[in-house]
């Protein structure tokens, strides 16, 4: 059955991809590091072009790295290691060899002499345990089946 003069809007749906495209870049410099599992980290970043140009001028011939510093402080005696990355990929997975650690991660340009021109730091990343928590003393509680409790709902 046809109805004249009636428009059914739901029949004219368009794909969301046709109407809304996410921007390639937001123009903000940031680094986000996420624990995927106890031995794997995923990092993604965006570096604003002016900041990258400025750092590149200071760094000269350099390569992009993620610098992992173990622990919560950034003192020069803390354990650290570098992971070479492709800056244009904008994300990287890093396999780690120990669980239940905390890391601070810096994205930067490493000069040939080993010094780091830091582009952006990350938040502190706490890696989860790889095993269940150790068993703790359990304190059983007796429940009186004849006791009635009224629950109040706010």
* Of 64, 46, 45, 70, residue with least CA distance to 124: 70
pLDDT 10s digits, 91-136: 999 999 999 999 999 999 999 998 999 999 999 999 999 988 787 7
Q: How far is CA 141 from CA 133, 135, 137, 138, in A?
A: 22, 18, 13, 9
- Confirm whether 117 is domain-assigned: yes
Mean pLDDT of 58-69: 91
pLDDT 10s digits, 124-145: 999 999 988 787 777 888 878 7
DSSP single-letter state for residue 5:
T
Alpha carbon distance 118, 140 (integer Å): 53
- CATH number for the domain that contains residue 89: 2.60.40.10
- Confirm whether 150 is domain-assigned: no
- Number of domains, the chain: 1
Boundaries of domain holding 91: 24-126
- Confirm whether 140 is domain-assigned: no
pLDDT 10s digits, 7-63: 555 555 565 556 678 888 888 999 999 999 999 999 999 999 889 889 888 888 899
- Confirm whether 5 is domain-assigned: no
User: What is residue 136's predicted lDDT score, i.e. its pLDDT?
Assistant: 77
- Confirm whether 120 is domain-assigned: yes
- Confirm whether 82 is domain-assigned: yes
- Confirm whether 30 is domain-assigned: yes
């Amino acid at each position: 059955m046809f109805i004249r003069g009636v428009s059914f809007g739901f029949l004219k749906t368009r794909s969301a991809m046709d109407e809304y495209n996410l921007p390639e870049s937001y123009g903000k410099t940031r680094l986000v590091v996420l624990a995927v599992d106890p031995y794997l980290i995923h990092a993604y970043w965006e570096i604003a072009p002016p900041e990258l140009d400025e750092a590149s001028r200071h760094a000269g011939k350099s390569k992009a790295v993620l610098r992992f510093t173990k622990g919560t402080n950034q003192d020069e005696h803390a354990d650290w290691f570098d992971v070479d990355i492709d800056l244009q990929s904008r994300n990287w997975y890093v396999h780690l060899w120990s669980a239940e650690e905390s890391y601070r991660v810096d994205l930067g340009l490493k000069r040939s002499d080993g010094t780091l021109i830091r582009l952006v730091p990350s938040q502190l990343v706490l890696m989860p345990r790889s095993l269940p928590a150790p068993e703790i003393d359990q304190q059983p509680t007796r429940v009186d089946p004849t006791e009635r409790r009224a629950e109040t709902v706010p």
